[in-house]
A = this chain, B = another copy of it.
Amino acid sequence: MRRTMSDRLPEHIGQQIRLMGWVHRRRVLRDVAFLILRDAHGLAQIVVRDGGRLTPFPEETPVSVVGEVIARPAAPHGVEVVEPAITALSDPAAAPPFDLYRPELRAGLPTLLDHAPVALRHPTRAHVQRVAAAAVGAFRGALERQGFVEIHTPKIVGAATESGADLFALDYFGRPAYLAQSPQLYKQIMVGALERVYEVGPVFRAEPSDTARHLASYVSLDAELGFIEDHRDVIAVCHLALRAMLQAIPSNDLRVPAEPLIVHFTDVAEGEDLSPADERRIGEWAGREHGTDAVYVTGYPTAHRAFYTHPDPARPGHSRAFDLIFRGVELVSGAQRLHRHDDYVRALAERGETDLTPYAAYLDAMRHGMPPHGGFAFGLERFVAAALGLPNVRHAALFPRDLHRLAP
């Protein structure tokens, strides 16, 4: 008999069906017992007269249940399964380290992460992963509708670029190599071939930061586009992606109007960079005055942005870089980039980079004709944590990697 998913049971009242899933909970009362089965679509209630029949099926055991569906308004989906034949699909499961059947997992973050293979089964944590998948799908969809082509750039690179700090080093067939901190240089190169590109992939940061916002590896959602006027064309695409990603999250109360709110650095801050307190203040102002959770700050001082950042010709010392501050937290960085070869050589020299060997292919792409271009990057885990209001980015990562954690 074909399998019926739990949420389709109401269509089968009066029929024999087959459910498959995990024993979510057993409740043995005096005259009756319930087996709550969990599958990918939800929960289903199965009724047996003799509670002893459930003894061979401890919680988390995968089972197949064949029985008849009857209406029962108080049960999940308004139905229950009666007269069941229950078969184990594996050995009886060992007891989980925490109760998976409770509405909330009662365990601290370290415990949840240590036991991630089991914790991720809990509906609340599985939901976070489904939200992450939906957000990535929406990001791709928004960009593909705008003509972007997906690429997969190398994760092992031969040279340290972009400062060289925070790199993981590895042995590559006897040669030194590094894990890519970002697809930045490659996605710019690919503008020369495909005009508009995006990538969803891992990036690696050997950052010693041990905070609620940092991971040693995360999923970066990158985009880059050519033939732009300036950074506002980049913000327009970023905003389309942001709105699509938010709309993919079921029943969220996030407010992001279609028109991006853009403010200039000099109008909201003093000094050279924004502090976390500045970001919170700007986020609150945007919500209060403009009814939006998202605000783009442009014009960051050039000296504080990456060497490839395009300056703003109209405002000496300021750049065409931007950050997206979402609910008071920096979520996206982006910019128009330099596109002339000689500007790169100058910018690298100003940062003290005189050995240009690591940049050879990158500079080559610029030398052979690169249009004005720019791009941006989301961190997936940070986006999911911000959108769902999770207190630590590790709640959004599948199997997080940080300063201390390398397993599971």
Contact = CB atoms under 8 A, between A and B. Distances in A.
Nearest to A226: B62
Contacts of A202: 152, 155, 201-202
A196 interface: yes
A399 B186 contact: yes
A227 to B, nearest CB: 5
Please tell me how many copies of the chain the complex holds.
Answer: 2
A149 to B, nearest CB: 5
A220 to B, nearest CB: 10
Contact of A117 (B126, B130, B157, B365): B365
B208 A173 contact: yes
Interface string A50-94: 000000000011100000000000000000000000000111011
Contacts of A177: 406
Contacts of A369: 22-23, 60-62, 90, 93-94
A13 interface: no
A247 interface: no
Contacts of A21: 227
Contact of A361 (B117, B219, B368, B380): B117
Contacts of A370: 62, 90
Contacts of A125: 193
A219 B372 CA distance: 30
B173 A170 contact: no
A33 interface: no
A69 to B, nearest CB: 19
A137 B144 contact: yes
A251 to B, nearest CB: 19
Contacts of A230: none
A216 interface: yes
A2 to B, nearest CB: 11
A21 B115 CA distance: 53
Interface of A: 3, 20-23, 39-40, 60-62, 89-91, 93-94, 96, 115-118, 120-121, 125-126, 129-130, 132-133, 136-137, 140, 144, 147, 149-159, 168-173, 175, 177, 179, 186, 189-190, 192-196, 200-202, 204, 206, 208, 216-217, 219, 226-227, 339-342, 360-362, 364-365, 367-372, 380, 398-399, 401, 403, 406-408
Given A129-B194, A155-B155, A168-B170, 6 more contacts: A3-B227, A61-B369, A90-B369, A117-B365, A120-B189, A201-B201
